[in-house]
Amino acid sequence: MKTIRTIGVLTSGGDAPGMNACIRAITRSAVYNGWKVYGILRGYEGLINDEFVELTTEKVSGTIQKGGTILKTARSKAFMTEEGRAKAYENMASHGIDALLVIGGNGSLSGAQVFAREYDIPIVGLPGTIDNDLYGTDLTIGYDTALNTIVECVDKIRDTASSHDRIFFVEVMGRDAGFLAQNSAIAAGAEAAIIPEDQTDVDQLAQFISRGVRKSKNSSIVIVSESKSEGHGGAMYYAERVRNEYPEYDVRVTILGHLQRGGTPTASDRILASRMGYASIEALQEGQRNIMIGIQNDEIVYVPISKAIKKDKPIDKELINVLSVLSI
């Protein structure tokens, strides 16, 4: 096993609150062990374009409370090509980088896996995504902050919904996963959540409306997961259906969008990111490679990247029952 003396760290894909806390923890843990740290700007694009900056304990000072990522991030089409990855490896080698740490979501870790296989590089992934959709970890960096942001917004929307007797469809992020939608619905006291994991033959909208009418409830909040398929799913789709099928209701739509990604990370996200950053350096010292740092039952675990990106993370069906009962 090659002795590690220099590491590179990058953030890739969508930004998530807590990424800076993770970069800080990685840098300081590595420096503590006598290693040199390079920050790679703009994710895999920076790896290809040779955008490397040396990170020191001073350079990451005062960053733990900042949202976004000090290393910037980007989605790289060039890295999807063999030529792009060859250039990335060439740049890594020229800087003497022995191992790479990748903070990001599903797509970022998929890229890391391909890169590690092609060039036999030790890579450790850290789950940085507000979607909380990576298999093998209970929580991802940024999820708790995004959840709190959504709840804060929905609390404000409820004031106007109840004042005007309106139904509000609030669309939240999450890609193919309903963790943000389901848990924010419970925390905000919403009347329903429409999530990908609950797709059955039962029409979720018709079910919600019938329950609402039975309760004589005119104002309601429905949290909807964003939809990948155009024209089917998402808040606009369900609002339009209500206007057409139940014209007696006054409907409004709020799409929270990138508001969910920003803001100061919560204490929980700062602690999670710090623990994971520290654990990633320990993992490299132990000779681990091609794994993602996860957390299960408040214990740090190593999850093979292949498993983290290929397996669907199941949502706890009890959460669906909890919301259903508490929204009567």
Neighbour tally for 324: CB within 10 Å: 13
**Torsion angle (degrees, nearest 10) of CA 218, 224, 228, 229:** -30
How far from the centroid of its chain's Cα atoms is residue 309's Cα?
Answer: 13
DSSP result, 270-323 = HHHHHHHHHHHHHHHHTT--SEEEEEETTEEEEEEHHHHHHSPPPP-HHHHHHH
- Give the span between the Cα atoms of 92 and 73, in whole angstroms: 18
- Rounded Cα distance between 115 and 137, Å, is 22
In whole angstroms, what is the distance from residue 27 CA to residue 25 CA?
Answer: 5
Buried b / exposed e along 53-90 (16+ C-beta atoms within 10 A):
eebeeebbeeebebbbbbbbbbbbeebeeeebbebbbe
How is residue 145 written in tokens? 């902050």
Place of tokens 């014209």: 247
Question: Which residues are the active-site residues?
Answer: 131
Bridge-based pairing of strands 36-40 and 52-55 is: antiparallel
Q: Is 1 helix (H, G, I), strand (E, B) or coil?
A: coil
Residue 29 CA from chain centroid, whole number: 24
In the numeric block, the tokens 């740049």 are attached to: 91
Structure tokens at 126: 């850290």
Q: Which residues pair with 225 in a beta bridge?
A: 172
DSSP, collapsed to helix, strand or coil, labels residue 99 as strand
Task: Name the E strands within 152-219.
Answer: 167-172, 192-194
